[in-house]
Amino acid sequence: MRHPRVGVAVLTMGNRPDELRALLDSVAKQDAAPTRVVVVGNGSPLPPLPDWVTAVELDENLGVSGGRNAALRALKEFGDVDVVVDLDDDGLLISPDVFGQIQELYEQDGLLGIVSFRIADETGHTQRRHVPRLRAADPMRRGLVTTFLGGGHALSVPMLKQVGGWPDEFFYAHEETDLAWRALDAGWRILYEPGLVLQHPRTLPTRHAVYHRMVARNRVWLAKRHLPAALAPVYLGVWALLTLARSRSLGGLKAWAGGFVEGVRTPCGRRRPIAWATVWHMTKLGRPPII
């Protein structure tokens, strides 16, 4: 039986050429060589790339979701990839056996849809927000979860064929949760594997100018697209209270409120609520879809 074939997708704005070069060097040093590597310039020209990399330059910035979908389309053209690994352009694979471990995980579990890496800074520290579960005190605790990290993860191609790719409408924020909920509802598993590490500089999500608006709008869209009608107001109410309690910026709070209203008023794609069985499954995993 052959190993699953790994394809790599990297999205860049063209503003971190040194970091991108270092990431690609770490990809080249993997013990299990990827079948394909695609780098997408999201509305920007790409720097010179190694000849083993497929370059895709988009005329406009399609956001995280649109850019990753462009990478998926490029990988699917070759038809020789079983697992897609998405990596941030300023990340770094510090171990040479990451892809080999991924191959083993997918060989062992035919229902494994998504594998979430551990994100750690140069000191080895993992921020609390980078642990995809509520009880996040120990980032080294491995297990099944209900969402995953955008900076470093692996996606089953059969899963993508069944549930679809990234939600183009989202542009940025919560696109991972949208895909995760669809995967769980279709019976796929999501594994947080802290042994797979992507080294990444410590950052704050608020560094993005559109953060507050996009987070609020897309949170509403998640509820409208995927939650049973009885759960949607509970989910949004909980997050509204948490936002009010945590907010330290009046400007950010105003942007959040504007995004919330935008999410209510604007279309977000086809509504496909998850089954109550999926809700119960997520609850047993420790994160019911109201938190």
Tell me what the mean pLDDT of segment 280-290 comes to. 95
CA 217 to each of CA 26, 48, 142, 157, 268: distance values in angstroms, whole numbers, following the listed order: 36, 37, 31, 29, 10
The domain segmentation of the chain, as residue ranges, is 6-203, 209-273
Mean pLDDT taken over the chain: 94
What tens digit of pLDDT does each residue of 159-201 get?
Answer: 999 999 999 999 999 999 999 999 999 999 999 999 999 999 9
Q: What is the pLDDT of residue 205?
A: 64
Among 288, 290, 240, 287, residue whose Cα is nearest residue 134: 287
Among 179, 145, 142, residue whose Cα is nearest residue 163: 179
Q: Which residues pair with 88 in a beta bridge?
A: 11
Q: What homologous superfamily is domain 6-203 in, according to CATH?
A: Spore Coat Polysaccharide Biosynthesis Protein SpsA; Chain A (3.90.550.10)
Q: Do residues 51 and 37 make contact, with C-beta atoms less than 8 angstroms apart?
A: no
Q: What is the 3-state secondary structure (H, E, C) of 46-99?
A: CCCCCCCCEEEECCCCCHHHHHHHHHHHHHHHHCCCCEEEEEECCCEECCCCHH
The predicted model scores a pTM of 0.94
Say yes or no to pLDDT of 23 above 70.
yes
C-alpha 36, offset from chain centre: 20
Work out the pLDDT band at 252, boundaries 50, 70, 90.
Answer: confident
What tens digit of pLDDT does each residue of 194-209 get?
Answer: 999 999 998 766 555 5
Say yes or no to pLDDT of 249 above 90.
no
